[in-house]
Amino acid sequence: MDKNYKNLQLELSPKQIITLNDFPVHSTEVLNDYFEKCKSGKEIALVPVIRKEIVKQYFYGETLKEFEIFIENNPAAEYFMLDGSHRTTALTITNRKIKGMIYETDEDIKKARSLVTTGQILENGTLDWTIKENCEFLNEHFSKTKLFQTVEQKTMRMVTEKVISEKMIDFYVR
């Protein structure tokens, strides 16, 4: 990666990322593919994230109240994930750190867009939006569900409710 982008890249634990509420995941096949890649140690595309302080400015009413309760109980949760449920779940199941790319400015999103051709960032709708539009998307998303959870909590829920393969559950619990 170009050294100009290194300052935007970080390694995160599943406790630090607030995930989207697409439970369990959209595609078990895609999750399985990522699980196999993660098991073999292959590099996985960066996950786009935004600091919670930036996103919180766009929450109001009941969503803001629920978010504040969540943060009180999950102080390590520092970032909102914009894309990457399959990747973050597979990385968590295989006990690997999650490599993220932080968006703090619209310029950061432009830099991320330039990394799509290298495979370091996957093409996704968040690349076409400004920071404000991404935060407004997150507000809309969470105002519908009012459920905040970390990647770790979501993964544990998938294991507990057995909505992923037994092979993945066995790998995760040992």
pTM for the whole thing? 0.91
Domain boundaries, the chain: 3-173
Digits of tens for pLDDT over the chain (174 positions)? Answer: 444 566 788 999 999 999 988 766 668 889 999 999 999 999 999 999 999 999 999 999 999 999 999 999 999 999 999 999 999 999 999 999 999 999 999 999 999 999 999 999 999 888 999 999 999 999 999 999 889 999 999 999 999 999 899 999 999 988
Question: Is the Cα torsion angle 28, 91, 119, 103 positive or negative in sign?
Answer: positive
